[in-house]
Amino acid sequence: MKKLLLVFEILMVSVILVVFSMGLSGNALAASKIEITFWNGVGAPENVVLTELISKFNETNEYGIHVNEEIMDWSTLYTKLLLDYRVGAAPDVLTMQQSALTQQASFGVLADIGKLAEEVGFKKEDFVETAWEGTQLNGTRYAIPLDMHPLALYYNTKLFRDAGLDPDNPPKNEEEFLSCAQKLTKDDRYGFGLAYSGGIPFRIWMSLVWQHKDGKILTDDLKRAAFDNQIGIESLQFLQDLVYKYEVVPKEEASPDDDFVKEIVAMNITGPWAMYDFNKYESLEYGTTPLPVIYDQPATWGDSHVLVLTATDNVQKMEAGMKLIKFLSDESLIWTQKAGHLPVRKEVLESEEFKNLKLSKAFAESLPFTHYYPPIVKREEVFGREATSPLVVMIESVMLNRETPEDAIRKAADTINQILAEE
């Protein structure tokens, strides 16, 4: 009996020593299971890709971490985040749009992740500068960028050939763009697709404003609109002229993406996310190229999906959340290959695997001159895509020929100035 007791005691001591050593080795997460919640706000169909990556993390991570994923649209995510945080039910990790960081940080729901980011090996020099700098505010790091998605020009290579145009030389400036659009416009087919409402049209207009040497959307202090001038008017006039002067855009077009797939329009400006759907159509032959430089310099609008942690005193969950963020960042090539969004890790951009993604090249070339929305708290009120948002109203009124560009610009600027005065 004494021998049995001695053996039992030795075994118990051995178990204790093993557990203790695991804690000392910094592998405490592996010692016990830990569950964290992840909110996926990325729109369909790309959210499926993110779900696949979460499943891969659950199956392969060595830390004993299990991620419970919830999928929701952006508007629900942002509204629910603040409400759930106040009652102690916020997620541990979530996706967010870079353009929403200022607002969400002002609510106090986001964690300062600077130290944790350093601990897992994130470095400034490993990322595209715009993306890295755009995920910190006033010196505080609130997020890690997952991607960037600037606008670029899609064009139908078959229709280019049919019109006697060289698909290997897409338009690079105003003259070439207008010439191509006019040659591609014939019978029931149009050279260019442009919706009258929604988010893409005013983002195109913003891109044109930024293409002017002195073009700005807001003043440097972010307190007033800066487009109520000849630059803003000229940029808006250009879009209106595409419809009424050059007649290269379908009247009252609702969905340029659908028309591009149906070959009703030969050129279309949108983001890299569109490739996910376009690639489903085997008969669709298309290429991509950076936005033509209509004015002084290359420029385009863009945004990013970023990864954040919510503010909490639970160090274990924050560490687990950062391990998930590191995993998703390391898998950004898969994110690019399947979802179409541009990686912001330089090593991925420079990899042979990415270079083989020919259709992504134009977007990668656009990264150095991609502009984010100005960082304001009332982002949604100023840059929202709803029918009542000031920039949506501005574009629609001009495209429907209800107002002159001068009047529409003035009204939009006045509305935005009122919104910013309330911040």
Residue spans per domain, the chain: 32-148+304-360, 152-301+378-421
The tens-digit pLDDT sequence of the chain (423 residues) is: 444 444 444 444 444 444 344 443 344 444 568 999 999 998 877 889 999 999 999 999 999 999 999 999 998 999 999 999 999 999 999 999 999 999 999 999 999 999 999 999 999 999 999 999 999 999 999 999 999 999 999 999 999 999 999 999 999 999 999 999 999 999 999 999 999 999 999 999 999 999 999 999 999 999 999 999 999 999 999 999 999 999 999 998 889 999 999 999 999 999 998 998 899 999 999 999 999 999 999 999 999 999 999 999 999 999 999 999 999 999 999 999 888 889 999 999 999 999 999 999 999 999 999 999 999 999 999 999 999 999 999 999 999 999 999 999 999 999 999 999 987
- The fourth-level CATH superfamily of domain 152-301+378-421 is Periplasmic binding protein-like II (3.40.190.10)
What strands, in cross-sheet order, belong to the sheet with 265-270?
190-193, 265-270, 152-156, 286-289
Closest of 322, 320, 319, 329 to residue 308, by C-alpha: 322
**Can 32-148+304-360 and 152-301+378-421 be said to share one CATH topology?**
yes
With 0.85 as the threshold, say if the pTM is over it.
Answer: yes
Kind and range of the H or E run holding 21:
helix 2-24
Backbone phi, psi, residue 242, to 5°: -60, -30
Which two three-digit tokens encode residue 412?
Answer: 């939009």
What strands lie across the sheet with 149-150, from one edge to the other? 149-150, 300-303, 370-371
Helix (H, G, I), strand (E, B) or coil at 154: strand
Q: Out of 3.40.50.300, 3.40.50.720, 3.40.228.10, 3.40.190.10, select the CATH number for domain 32-148+304-360.
A: 3.40.190.10
From residue 127, give the alpha-carbon distance in Å to each of 49, 144, 304: 22, 10, 13
DSSP reduced 3-state for 70? strand
**Which phi and psi (to 5°) does residue 408 adopt?**
-65, -40
SS3 readout for 275-316: HHHHCCCCCCCEEEECCCECCCCCCEEEECEEEEEECCCCHH
As a whole number of Å, the end-to-end CA separation of the chain is 78
